[in-house]
């Protein structure tokens, strides 16, 4: 950790992987997954930028900024949409909520509650689905990874993130509502790809992360059966299950990624393994 304000990395032409953590349903663990993977990769000395797209502002809080709207000096993603600043100008260094120190190698584009007006702001734009695709180039070449933390729907924010991404990370739980959200997400990706497939956008879900999973049927047969169905449906792209772990809600309450809050807990170890499975680091 450091108290010296890190500067935005220069564009060195490095290969940047852009990932969208998403689901058609809320409460599927998107922010938890995005923050945990981002911190784990940064800890491995990868340069990472997380872009928050949810009016709930969970990822902003997990990366050190409890109320971005409360500080007029802080740029937010809505300021980018409103053309007050560029995407590159909106990037700020992530912080440890507990120590207030900057987290090395990790940056974030903060969210705003005004993002609930995104649909209205983009309404008169031609091919508005490309709104993020048009500007993501400002950050490619600067980071090893860019991670979009999407809201719990498949409207303009999520659609824009998918088109601007290289890979889609479907976040879910071993419950029917979140599993249905993956199906809705697949349908939307297929629909959008018919119009914008020429951009090189993903044509399906690339990875599936199951949060709050169970280890055996004794913990809940219905949940275990749903997890088995997800693995049968999605096969090898289903990664290590993140088991139900009290440290996850504790980390959320503390406003810290679980991989930072409790690196040795079961959930943090699972997310660290997921990062390896995704080849984010060795």
Task: Note the pLDDT of residue 1.
Answer: 57
149-201 confidence digits (pLDDT tens): 999 999 999 999 999 999 999 999 988 889 999 999 999 999 999 999 999 99
State how far the Cα of 67 lies from the Cα of 254, in Å rounded to an integer.
14
Task: Note the pLDDT of residue 150.
Answer: 97
- Selection from 107, 95, 104, 110 nearest residue 142 by Cα: 107
- Selection from 58, 86, 240 nearest residue 150 by Cα: 58
Task: Note the pLDDT of residue 2.
Answer: 54
Task: Note the pLDDT of residue 213.
Answer: 84
Q: What is the CA radius of gyration of the chain?
A: 18
State how far the Cα of 234 lies from the Cα of 229, in Å rounded to an integer.
9
Alpha-carbon distances of 241 from 38, 174, 213, 238, 278, rounded to whole Å: 18, 10, 6, 8, 13
Low-confidence ranges of the chain (pLDDT < 70): 1-3, 215-220
């Amino acid at each position: 950790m450091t108290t010296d304000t890190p500067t935005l990395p220069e564009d060195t032409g490095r290969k940047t992987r852009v990932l969208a953590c998403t689901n058609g349903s809320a409460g599927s663990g998107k922010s938890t997954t995005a923050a945990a993977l981002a911190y784990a990769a940064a800890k491995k000395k990868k340069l990472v930028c997380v872009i928050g797209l949810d009016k709930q502002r969970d990822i902003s809080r997990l990366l050190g900024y409890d109320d971005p709207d409360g500080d007029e000096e802080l740029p937010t993603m809505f300021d980018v949409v409103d053309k007050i600043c560029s995407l590159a100008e909106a990037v700020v260094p992530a912080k440890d909520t507990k120590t207030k120190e900057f987290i090395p190698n990790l940056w974030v584009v903060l969210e705003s509650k005004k993002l609930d007006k995104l649909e209205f702001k983009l309404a008169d734009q031609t091919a508005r689905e490309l709104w993020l695709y048009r500007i993501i180039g400002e950050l490619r070449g600067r980071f090893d990874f860019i991670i979009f933390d999407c809201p719990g729907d498949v409207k303009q924010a999520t659609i824009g993130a998918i088109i601007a991404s290289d890979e889609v990370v479907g976040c879910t739980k071993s419950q029917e509502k979140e599993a249905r959200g993956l199906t809705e997400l697949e349908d939307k990706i297929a629909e959008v790809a018919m119009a914008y497939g020429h951009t090189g956008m993903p044509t399906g879900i690339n990875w599936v992360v199951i949060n709050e999973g169970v280890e055996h049927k004794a913990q809940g047969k219905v949940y275990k059966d749903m997890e088995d169905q997800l693995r049968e449906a999605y096969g090898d792209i289903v990664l290590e299950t993140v088991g139900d772990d009290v440290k996850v809600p504790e980390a959320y309450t503390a406003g810290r990624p679980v991989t930072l809050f409790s690196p040795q807990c079961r959930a943090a170890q699972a997310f660290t393994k997921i990062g390896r499975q995704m080849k984010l680091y060795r």
